[in-house]
Amino acid sequence: MRAEALRRIASEVSDKLDLTSVFDAVMDNAYALFGIDRCGLWLVEPDDRPLRLVAQRELSQEVIAAVGHLRRNARTAGMKALRERRIHVMTPRGAASPELRRAYRADGIQTICFVPIVFRDEPLGLLVLYHHEMHDWPSEELELARAFADQMAAAIANARLHEGVQSLAARLRAISDLASRLNRIHDVNGIGAAIVAETRSLIDFDTIRVYRVDEATAACEPVAFQGRFLGTDSPTPEMLRVPIGAGLTGWVAANGQAIRTGDAGTDQRGLTIGSVMTRRPFRSLPDLPPRRWSTPPTRNASGTSRPSSSISWPASGGSWRSARACSPRSTRRPCWN
């Protein structure tokens, strides 16, 4: 009976291509298969606190908060299940965190089953099943839970692939549209303004700068800007200008090679140009080399708040640099170029 239900579930979730529908199906089918009283589904993120809740049924805010506080190296049953890629079952007494023990008892939870969702040996998520009464979890139920998790892993991976393809297709269309626009613009300032305007549709950034590489003056001349630099939203061209060969921007202009550095402050090619009050100092800096335009060559630089792919436009040229900001906090930090 349960084997038939599992086959039906596998067929149902394999047809779903958006993650929200997959998560809802996981919740609904977990109740039907295991007779649980509560459940939660967390995805694994590459953070120090890696568990992000994406779906739940009947969980209290206390349980949600306690799980959200767990660090990657926590010695809890759930984190152990992820590290070992195997199911763990426990009672509230076995919870390693006092916060979790209190939350479980307050909710009347007696048995907790942690089911890792693993795809090609990579943990994608954690399904947690809660019973209000003591539940033995015999071997056949554990096997069913493992098979259920395998089906969920395949469904999540498939939905992520679909979303990735859709996102890539949208970005490629945006890049193609931008390339067509750039090829119709014949002045450098117009090219820079178009890059600044259109880059937002490709990537979320904090700061973007577009330069014209002037071989005659041996400098990267700013032609467009958006964001904050040296404590101001309206920096002068003198503040933004960079000699070719100086700093990360100048290094790329001189060498024609891309840069992506995880910490701009520790890169020896960087140029410290001041100390300013900033909420989110730049940390990660991908940098692309200039290419030739039909008009004078340009390059651009952008600051972004999350990781992104480097992009260059066909039949145009230039480069752009993106910088991932730290977590927001007000500190005195230098700017790098």
Q: Name the β-bridge partners of 286.
A: 260
- What span, in angstroms and rounded, lies between the C-alpha atoms of 44 and 242? 41
Task: For the beta carbon of residue 17, count every other beta carbon within 10 angstroms.
Answer: 15
Compute the C-alpha angle 243/248/250, nearest 5°. 25
Task: For the beta carbon of residue 161, count every other beta carbon within 10 angstroms.
Answer: 11
- What span, in angstroms and rounded, lies between the C-alpha atoms of 182 and 174? 12
218-254 pLDDT, tens digit each: 999 998 888 888 888 888 988 889 899 888 888 888 8
Let me know: does 229 contact 337? Beta carbons within 8 Å: no
Q: By three-state DSSP, how is residue 155 classified? A: helix
Which pairs count as long-range contacts for 269-272, CB under 8 Å and 24+ apart, including other chains? Answer: 270/336, 270/337, 271/242, 271/246, 271/247, 271/336, 271/337, 272/334, 272/335, 272/336
Closest CA to 36 of 137, 145, 132: 132
290-314 pLDDT, tens digit each: 544 433 344 444 443 333 333 333 3
Q: Per residue of the chain (337 residues), what is the pLDDT tens digit?
A: 566 666 666 666 566 557 787 788 778 888 888 999 999 999 999 889 999 999 999 999 999 999 999 999 999 999 999 999 999 999 999 998 899 999 999 999 999 999 999 999 999 999 999 999 999 999 999 999 998 888 888 888 877 776 777 777 777 787 888 788 788 888 888 888 888 887 777 777 788 888 888 889 999 999 888 888 888 888 898 888 989 988 888 888 888 887 877 677 777 787 666 544 333 334 444 455 554 443 334 444 444 333 333 333 333 333 333 332 233 333 333 444 5
Task: For the beta carbon of residue 43, count every other beta carbon within 10 angstroms.
Answer: 19
Let me know: does 128 contact 40? Beta carbons within 8 Å: yes
Task: For the beta carbon of residue 142, count every other beta carbon within 10 angstroms.
Answer: 15
Q: What percent of the chain has pLDDT over 70?
A: 74
Q: Which residue bears the tokens 């300032």?
A: 189
Domains of the chain, earliest start first: 2-162 (3.30.450.40), 187-336 (3.30.450)
The DSSP call for residue 232 is B
Report which residue type is found at 129.
Answer: L
Per-position DSSP letters for 258-306, written without gaps between them: -EEES-GGG-TT--EEEEEEESS-EEEEEE---B--SSS-EEEEEEESS
Q: Label residue 294 exposed, middle or buried (CB < 10 Å: 0-12, 13-18, 19+).
A: exposed
Segments in the chain forming alpha helices (H): 2-14, 19-34, 61-68, 77-84, 98-106, 139-184, 188-199, 237-240, 247-255
Q: Residue 239: which residues within 8 A CB-CB, separation 6 or more? A: 229, 230, 232
Task: For the beta carbon of residue 141, count every other beta carbon within 10 angstroms.
Answer: 19
